[in-house]
Amino acid sequence: MRIIVAIDIIGGKCVRLTRGDFSSRKIYNEDPLDFARQIEDNGINYLHLVDLEGARNKKIENLKVLEKIAWKTKLKIDFGGGLRSYEDMITVFNAGARQVTAGSIAVTDPHLFIEWLSKLGQEKLILGADCIDRKVSTGGWLENSDKEIISFISDYRSKGVKYTICTDIKKDGMLLGPSTALYKEILDSVKINLIASGGISSIQDIEDVREVGCEGAIIGKAVYERKITLKELGNLC
């Protein structure tokens, strides 16, 4: 299972939110590149980089952060937030991303998402499937849809999606454990590379999502709050 550390960006700084609430933001590092280097130095290979301002404003806002990290580390970066066109995708790949995560467009414009999937291929495009009470959310978690999470993922799997990141918004930033039961339910229904996100607060949580079959686990606030150290994650890698 891949160990993936998250860096969320607002104003060019590493921040974390609680349940996607922008008013709850807390700055953990003024320099994302410095933290990215710490991730790399501990033997971790994967970074989940989220432009939170981009997600909220529906346009890429923190491209320079991606460029700096991609140029000055060897981390394999998936980037999300504010992607609204194929040109945006190309811009992000040219800046150094290995994969992109798109969620809102998959809800609001499924035909466009499938077009991106066709052009980029299933190794490059990750389906963002963020949910609250089993309903998919969009727009940086500010808007809710009527789409049920498992049927949403299943439908896109049938159309060629290989990877999906599933975040239970109620768990995100709470450090109370991930939605392991939901992930098991998804994987019992859909054969997909599922990346767990939200709520992970211990090594045991990581073992739990691995046990149910998740292909990856994203760890964010637990690292910043020192519930899990980068060294511990590096040892898992």
E runs forming strands in the chain: 2-10, 13-18, 21-29, 46-51, 76-80, 99-102, 125-132, 135-138, 143-148, 163-168, 193-197, 216-219
Residue 34 belongs to what H/E stretch? helix 32-41
Separation CA 115–CA 170 (nearest Å): 31
Separation CA 105–CA 111 (nearest Å): 9
**Active-site positions?**
8, 130
Q: Do residues 139 and 104 lie in contact, with contact meaning Cβ atoms separated by under 8 Å?
A: yes
Q: Do residues 80 and 52 lie in contact, with contact meaning Cβ atoms separated by under 8 Å?
A: no
Specify burial of residue 187 (Cβ count, 10 A radius: 0-12, 13-18, 19+).
Answer: middle
